[in-house]
Amino acid sequence: MKKLFERNLIIICITALSFVFITSCFPPCDSDLLGKIKLPDGFTICFYADNIPGARSLALGENGTLFVSTRGEGDVYAVTDNNGDYVADEIILIDSGLDMPNGVAIRDGDLYVAEVSKVLKYEDIEDNLENPPDPIVLKDDLPTEFLHGWKYMDFGPEGKLYFQIGAPCNVCEVAEPFASIVRMNPDGSEFEIFAQGVRNSVGFDWHPETEELWFTDNGRDLLGDDVPPDELNHAPVEGLHFGFPYCHGGEIIDPAFGEEGDCGNFTPPQMKLGPHVASLGMKFYTGSMFPKEYKNQIFIAEHGSWNRTIPIGYRITLVRLENNNAVSYEVFAEGWLEGFESWGRPVDVLIMPDGSLLVSDDKAGAVYRIVYRKFI
């Protein structure tokens, strides 16, 4: 009887400890809202932060501070998790009144922010969150056009700062540097075009093994509900042209500009994504939390269609690769769209050091954390 009592006591203690461990790793979620999100078996989603108006691009500082940009709000935030429970403890306004500061990136302790026509740098930002320094203007001669003027930004493996300059139209012939992905040194020097024929890319990443650039691109509008597709593209070298405005999706000749070019002259997409899904942020999964079949595969945030009879997007999708080629495209997380109405719109994704996946949402003003419950 005594041994039975001791065994049951041990089981109770282990269960209690397991509960504490699990709830600390997977904080409580708003079941009325996040319970609507469908994920593969074993995955769950919770709030990392739920009060960031217009949350857009994400960048992680060396000390664990999450930097979150906005587009319409003109603000840039720092989000801190002081106790390591993967729930935001403090949301700090770094700057406000900026001109669509959609792009954020971190390098050597400095925060880089892209406005429509400028690139700014906030030095030693994580050491000065409560009293942010005035920004240094690195570049202030970029195009001022509003349409597709918001920028995504990140540092490449060679240390250069990459961002896109979108086409200032639905479809049109444009001069350089429009409809391109560009790069420059961290001090703003040696500005150059890396890829052309890119209508508007708001997300890119480098393959963790080949260090080659992959990026999403938004297809043109007003050709119909189902054409053209959005694109996932691969740029292993500089100087490639991806077709805009002459060819869309690798095979659709533009009715207005198609006579000026042949689809065979351009680099086709690696994967045709859903039509008008507004594919934005993308990241290769480099963590160790998710099952091994997700390693080095691509997660994409699809912001969602605005001009399609039946809405599509409003989800996180997964593109699988084999031998450095995209081979499949599937839904990973969905539920932000309910019928013809959405309560959230994913924008960007980020892999955390523990392997969890962050997702920003500019409609709900939130950042979510997706985890795999491998401990249960």
3-state secondary structure the chain: CHHHHHHHHHHHHHHHHHHHHHHHHCCCCCHHHHCCCECCCCEEEEEEECCCCCCCCEEECCCCCEEEECCCCCCEEEEECCCCCCCCCEEEEEECCCCCCCEEEEECCEEEEECCCCEEEECCHHHCCCCCCCCEEEECCCCCCCCCCCCCEEECCCCCEEEEECCCCCCCCCCCCCCEEEEECCCCCCCEEEEECCCCCCCEEECCCCCCEEEEECCCCCCCCCCCEEEEEEECCCCCECCCCCEECCCEECCCCHHHCCHHHCCCCCEEEEECCCEEEEEECCCCCCCHHHCCCEEEEECCCCCCCCCCCCEEEEEEEECCEEEEEEEEEECCEECCEECCCEEEEEECCCCCEEEEECCCCEEEEEEECCCC
Does residue 16 belong to any structural domain of this protein?
Answer: no
For the entire predicted model, the pTM comes to: 0.92
Nearest to 204 by CA among 155, 249, 269, 271: 155
Does residue 6 belong to any structural domain of this protein?
Answer: no
Domains contained in the chain, number = 1
Does residue 2 belong to any structural domain of this protein?
Answer: no
Does residue 35 belong to any structural domain of this protein?
Answer: yes
pLDDT, residue 14, reads: 33
**Structural domain boundaries, residue 220:** 30-372
Does residue 291 belong to any structural domain of this protein?
Answer: yes
pLDDT, residue 374, reads: 66
pLDDT, residue 5, reads: 38
CATH number of the domain within which 201 lies: 2.120.10.30
Does residue 11 belong to any structural domain of this protein?
Answer: no
Does residue 22 belong to any structural domain of this protein?
Answer: no
pLDDT, residue 6, reads: 43
Does residue 62 belong to any structural domain of this protein?
Answer: yes
pLDDT, residue 271, reads: 98
pLDDT (tens, 9 = 90+) of the chain, 376 residues, equals: 444 434 443 333 333 333 333 333 345 465 688 999 999 999 999 999 999 999 999 999 999 999 999 998 899 999 999 999 999 999 999 999 999 999 999 999 999 999 999 999 999 999 999 999 999 999 999 999 999 999 999 999 999 999 999 999 999 999 999 999 999 999 999 999 999 999 999 999 999 999 999 999 999 999 999 999 999 999 999 999 999 999 999 999 999 998 766 899 999 999 999 999 999 999 999 999 999 999 999 999 999 999 999 999 999 999 999 999 999 999 999 999 999 999 999 999 999 999 999 999 999 999 999 999 864 4
